[in-house]
A and B are shown apart, each in its own frame.
Chain A
């Protein structure tokens, strides 16, 4: 049982937008602006896509955006591309520890 709740799956057609939610509590997501998102392709290491709720590291396409409202953070992928098909994990600081979500498998139809 992961500390943060994500939908197991999400999907969209090329060019569409899809949003993945990440629900926590006031002790993690809601309590800090330290939510990050990771993309993981099969057999590969995770890759940082978003940090501090909405900031993108250099090299991450601006099709990826993050936001937060209350205890729920969201990752939106706009203009879906085939290479976006992967697992996505949210993470949050939770007071002297890091918690992850259970992961969402994004399928590009």
Chain B
């Protein structure tokens, strides 16, 4: 059974760096064809894809946020970490991590999601 859980601060100040951790079980990120992505959702708004990391450490980022994002994995701890620099109130959102089967190149869908963590950016 695959599970994912997001953790990190609930409140960050503008200009600070956000660090979120996704701790998962039921799969290994060293297994070929597996990925973990991050998606966020501002209150009352749509989903927005942020980043994706492959089992082979290949990484992809949303072009509009690429300069602010870093995604890494720790296979031994079954964790994926997302950092976002220079936080702004518009970054207030629920941040989700999700498992991606990566059946084919470009087949980037998310079949299992964590419950999400709400991050508020405010001074």
C-alpha spacing A97/B107, complex, angstroms = 10
C-alpha spacing A108/B64, complex, angstroms = 36
> Which of A46, A51, A97 contacts B47 (CB under 8 A)?
A46
Q: Is the interface of B mostly helix, strand, loop or mixed?
A: loop
Q: How many residues of B contact A (CB 8 A)?
A: 24
C-alpha spacing A36/B47, complex, angstroms = 13
Q: How many residues of A contact B (CB 8 A)?
A: 24
* Cβ A98 vs Cβ B49 within 8 A: yes
* Cβ A2 vs Cβ B46 within 8 A: yes
Given contacts A32-B106, A89-B47, A97-B62, whether A46 and B96 have CB atoms under 8 Å apart is: yes
C-alpha spacing A91/B52, complex, angstroms = 15
* Cβ B46 vs Cβ A103 within 8 A: yes
Please list 16 pairs of residues, one from A and one from B, whose beta carbons are closer than 8 Å in the complex, sorted by A's number. Answer: A36-B109, A45-B114, A46-B39, A48-B110, A51-B107, A57-B111, A89-B46, A89-B47, A91-B109, A95-B106, A97-B60, A97-B63, A98-B37, A98-B52, A98-B108, A100-B47
A residues neighboring B (CB under 8 Å): 2, 32, 34, 36, 38, 45-48, 51-52, 57, 89, 91, 93, 95-103
